[in-house]
Amino acid sequence: MPIKKYRRLEDAPERWLAPWDHSIGARMRFVCEMATRLAGPRALPRGVRKYRSFEELLTDRERWEDERIARIRAERMHKLGSS
């Protein structure tokens, strides 16, 4: 899809939905379902976490990213094996 630049907002084609438009719910559902399919059911761990340092945060983030990658790989290998 090409990117078009406009100098003013008035020059851009109107693409806004009215607040009462009934298609908003369906559009939001579509976006959420697509994000779930692409990223998996939980891309981020649940809850709020406190860290004593930035390094501790980075270590924890790396750990849950590695766990997520391992889970995705296992799911894909399972799908390949069952095909």
Confidence of residue 62 (pLDDT cuts 50, 70, 90): very high
* Segment 33-37 long-range contacts (CB within 8 Å, at least 24 positions apart): none
Confidence of residue 80 (pLDDT cuts 50, 70, 90): confident
Would you tell me how many other CB atoms lie within 10 Å of the CB of residue 83?
5
Q: What is the mean pLDDT of residues 65-82?
A: 85
From the list 49, 42, 82, the residue with the least C-alpha distance to 65 is 42
| Highest-confidence segment of 3-12, 16-25, 52-61 | 52-61
Confidence of residue 83 (pLDDT cuts 50, 70, 90): low
